[in-house]
Structure 1
Amino acid sequence: MGDLLAWWKRKGKNLTFSTVWLCGFILIPYAVWMERNARYHDGAALHYKHIFARVKGEICMISSVHLGKPLSIPDLICARRIGIPRVTRTRREIIEVRWCLPFPGWIKLNTDGCSLGNPGKAGAGGIFRNEKGDSLLNYREYVGIRTNFEAKLLAVIAGLEQAKINGFQHLWIECDSTAVVTHCYREANVIADFLAKSSARFEVSYPVEAWPRLVSMELELDANQHPRYRFMNL
């Protein structure tokens, strides 16, 4: 029973629909035990469908099956098939996100770090752009086995080194980690994200000379201040 309880709880942590799963651990053994006693002592027996309906009814009586966590479409379908009511998806807020041009005379540096495994193979990357959104310089560095935080921090350090080498002084640095530097949403850090991930995946430490078509399109979207959208659960 101890091993079963430990497995059941570990499984519940990985499920969005965890409340029903965790309630089931209590209600199902209870229902089986009560049915066992009824058959042993009273000679009465219920069909398994009636027992299942009783368990489902107990779950439905819980004040809130869903406690505000994001609920996936498969979870909703599962709830409908089982017949559990009061299960709804969390409402979402849509945020408009834009990459902002730097002020005249300034250069903007977007950095990012990526760890494939956290810790795992990691890469750091960044891109310098002027007030028109034109790419001035980009860099990628494979930094070995690191955590995500370490990779993001090393990306900023590498950017500062590149800025010093190239004489970039009026610098605006942006990253999608609040713990590292001025924060921006990932939707406004697409190019740096590409540089970091490609560096980690292919273990390369050299800049991109020819942008892939999709990345070039993202550069144009940034330069034209085109919005992207972020969906956040309320």
Structure 2
Amino acid sequence: MVIMNYRESFVLRLKGILLDALDVLVEETAEHIFWQCSNIQPIWREFFQWFKFDDFSYDIHSFFVAAWNRDTSSHVRTFWKTGIITLIWAIWTLRNACIFKYKIFYAKHLLQIVRVAFKEVEGSFTKIGHMSNTWSDYLILRAIDVTTRAAPPPDMINVHWWPPVSHWIKVNTDGSASGAPGKIAAGGVFRDNVGWVRGCFHYKGGTGFAFEAELLAVIMAIQIAHSRGWFALWVESDSTYIVNLLNTRSNIVPWRFIASWNKILVILQDFNIQISHIYREGNVPADIMANENMTEGWWPHEVEEIKKAVRLDMACHSHVRWKTR
């Protein structure tokens, strides 16, 4: 079946072409050509069967939104999107060939074109990602006859919190944000060379972004350390932004923190300071103190909320971080 308007059908009639097998419409629409035509829908249904997609209730525009946002592995997603684009192109090309070149409409030919596109993608693209190591992904990739690419196992990293050397104080800082932007909060925990808590804090920061919460946390930590005379200070954060900022002494910070940060840069001249990064799995006490549900304030001792996490750190507990390759 071929879709055409009256003008096209009139031209074909003048040329003596019979229209018994043609679908003649007053006005063509993208919805009908690519989606609603009775000859096209079975093709989509078979395509959807390959990819375990069983919802045909969309209009074509809603389908594209849903298809592009579909949560799949990167390997399956590559062929899913390739297939949709190729099928749209093939429908349009074959539709024009039937109208203007008098070709016969073979629905199965469209799916053959899609399979050829899959082979071209498989052969020419090296960065098509990996499948989820699931039975569902395996069945999809076998249905479209492409080579499965199993995801490599994640790397396991052991994360430890280490105490400072004698006469040094170590502060771990963290920030939290309830949105982007959202309410932000900053927290930190000071500990000595044995691992005992010498103080901890939690402060609210109004509305902002997560990196601003991290910045607020380190500003408060350095101000507190300066006021208490802890000039041999080890600052540790799970934010690479903070680590780079301190290492470079950069003053490129959000405008509302410029005055406070410039004071910190001056204060740092009085410190013997060390800066390091730790993965969030090893930064648990500071993460707890940054929780927005905490009461705001400074405590010159350990609070109950962080007691368990602090004891694990003192026992050299190994936290596991799974890192995808």
Q: 2:289 maps to which residue? A: 195
Shift of 1:123: 0.5
- 1:88 pairs, out of 150, 153, 169, with 150
Distance 1:68 1:56, change over 3 A: closer
Distance 1:105 1:203, change over 3 A: closer
Shift of 1:129: 1.0
Residues 136-155 of structure 1 mapped to structure 2, 5 A cutoff: 136-155=198-217
Q: 2:22 maps to which residue? A: none
Distance 1:70 1:106, change over 3 A: farther
Which whole-Å CA distance do the structure 2 matches of 1:33 and 1:79 have between them? 31
Which whole-Å CA distance do the structure 2 matches of 1:112 and 1:93 have between them? 25
Higher relative contact order (CA 8 A, sep 6+): 1
Q: 1:177 maps to which residue? A: 239
SS at match of 2:204: strand
Output the TM-score relative to the length of structure 1. 0.77
Distance 1:177 1:61, change over 3 A: same
Which whole-Å CA distance do the structure 2 matches of 1:98 and 1:60 have between them? 47
Tell me if structure 2 keeps the 8 A contact 1:79–1:85: no
Identity of aligned residues (%): 30
Deviation larger for 137-146 or 86-95: 86-95
1:43 aligns with 2:104: yes
SS at match of 1:101: coil
RMSD: 3.4
Q: 2:85 maps to which residue? A: 26
Q: 1:22-79: CA deviations, max 9, x gaps?
A: 42343111232344356553334235xx7446524532442377727576567x7346
Tell me if structure 2 keeps the 8 A contact 1:122–1:146: yes
Which whole-Å CA distance do the structure 1 matches of 2:317 and 2:212 have between them? 31
Distance 1:56 1:222, change over 3 A: farther
Tell me if structure 2 keeps the 8 A contact 1:12–1:22: no
Q: 1:227 maps to which residue? A: 318
Distance 1:162 1:78, change over 3 A: same
Structure 1, unpaired ranges of 5+: none
Output the TM-score relative to the length of structure 2. 0.58
Which whole-Å CA distance do the structure 1 matches of 2:170 and 2:131 have between them? 38
Structure 2, unpaired ranges of 5+: 1-29, 31-59, 244-275
